[in-house]
Amino acid sequence: MNLILLGMPGAGKGTQADFIKNKFHIPTISTGAILREVSNSNSLLAKKVRGFLDAGTLVPDEIIVEMLVQRLNEDDCKNGFILDGFPRNLDQAKALENAGIAINNVVFLKISESEIISRMSGRRVHLPSGRSYHIVHNPPKNEGRDDETGEELVLRNDDKPEVIKKRLEVYFQETEPLLDFFINSEIIFDEVDASKNVEDVSNEIFKILT
């Protein structure tokens, strides 16, 4: 199963990727998580990447595409993978095709802009894994701690209101056109009502994928 999760920032891609990963035993590849790791590292790229993340704009394709293709060619992706956050524009979708990476399913998590704000303001994340929680809707077992590692959860730098606004603008301009691209492709495309609660959304996704 080579799956893409599409949706607005905060639609629940990371949350659902985790459920799918646990059920189907395939890895989640989150480009946002990869880039946050780079931005927190001591590498030459860190400062450059941090600038894009903090501004809410897309990291240039020449930085992310090669990283992503390399990651998808690793052994653990042989039986399938879940892409969370990639592709973000038409060129990235075409880069997957050019790299010979076939996609079977696209699941679009549909939600309104107004819901997004409340979701992001209550979000807490485990930066190393990308696992995300919500203080009300999807709380960790122990407050402020990741369920799997017990490590600290933090607020993301790009979850400030002005950056959220920019991320939404970028979504509508660059990412939303992918919906038509995938609908008109051979890939199986499904839409899920992502405004439902976490469990209902995952049940709906499981129905589609089994």
Binding flag, residue 140, ligand AP5 (CB under 6 A): no
Q: Work out whether strand 131-134 and strand 123-126 pair parallel, antiparallel, or are unpaired.
A: antiparallel
Q: Is 207 a catalytic residue?
A: no
- Tell me which residues in 154-173 interact with ligand AP5 (CB under 6 A): 158, 167
Strands laid side by side in the 2-7 sheet? 28-30, 81-84, 2-7, 105-110, 188-193
Binding flag, residue 85, ligand AP5 (CB under 6 A): yes
Among residues 6, 56, 81, 182, the one that binds ligand AP5 under rule CB under 6 A: 56
Angle at 192 between CA 120 and CA 89, to 5 degrees: 65
Buried-state track 131-144, b at ≥16 Cβ within 10 A, e below 16: bbbbeeebebeeee
Binding flag, residue 131, ligand AP5 (CB under 6 A): no
Measured distance CA(182)–CA(184) in Å, rounded = 5
- Tell me which residues in 171-200 interact with ligand AP5 (CB under 6 A): 196-198
Closest contact distance (angstroms) between CB of 179 and ligand AP5 is 15
Binding flag, residue 7, ligand AP5 (CB under 6 A): yes
Looking at residue 1, its amino acid is M
Binding flag, residue 10, ligand AP5 (CB under 6 A): yes
Closest contact distance (angstroms) between CB of 14 and ligand AP5 is 3
- Chain centroid, CA 53 distance in Å: 14
Instruction: Give contact residues for ligand AP5 (rule: CB under 6 A).
Output: 7, 9-15, 31-32, 35, 52-53, 56-59, 64, 85-86, 88, 92, 119, 122-123, 132-134, 137-138, 158, 167, 196-198, 201
